[in-house]
Amino acid sequence: MSDKPKLKVQIELEGIKHMAEGSVDEVIHEIIKFVSKIIPTYQVASKIMFTPDYISILNDISSFINITEDGKILLLESSLSTDQAIGLTLLGAHLAYKIGKRESEEMSVEEISKSLNKAMKTVRNTLVQMVNANVIERVERGSYKITSSGIKEVHESILAFLEGKKKD
């Protein structure tokens, strides 16, 4: 039996998985080799890929929503359109899930309605339009989450809203 410790490590970089096994030096060498092959490909691909900058998004939407300790989304701005408010609420749920404040990024119609303080019928009608526009997706009956393109669209909408407020 060898005195040298053996490692077995699985790494994942942007969805590509690689297994490295051996001594500490062998594993480190294998990881460096893997990363050096992936990074140039990633740098080229990242020019056309949308990857949300969550820190920037959090900063930009912080005056519009708050996330409670238990993961509830509180809408702070009442002058938003219903679709902007729903988009922000679902973006907030997505971010809360990413930072570990929610078990899921999905929200029910009831949750969204309470968060917005709007009638469920209004929320349901707007959700249908937003699903058709691919801003959000229906996960299961009565449950919704924001799409990747929705993250981009809602963020840009909020930036435009902020810009409009500056001009007023």
Helix axes 120-132, 82-98, angle to 10 degrees: 80
β-pairing verdict for 73-75 and 107-108 = unpaired
Could you report the per-residue pLDDT of 79-134, keeping only the tens digit for each?
Answer: 899 999 999 999 999 999 988 999 999 999 999 999 999 999 999 999 999 999 99
What DSSP state is assigned to residue 18? E
161 — pLDDT class (breaks 50, 70, 90): confident
Q: Tell me, yes or no, if the pTM score tops 0.85.
A: no
How sure is the predictor about 168, in pLDDT bands with cuts at 50, 70 and 90? low
Report long-range pairs for 144-148 (Cβ below 8 Å, ≥24 apart).
144/90, 144/106, 144/107, 144/108, 144/109, 144/112, 145/90, 145/93, 145/94, 145/105, 145/106, 145/107, 146/87, 146/90, 146/91, 146/93, 146/94, 146/105, 148/50, 148/52
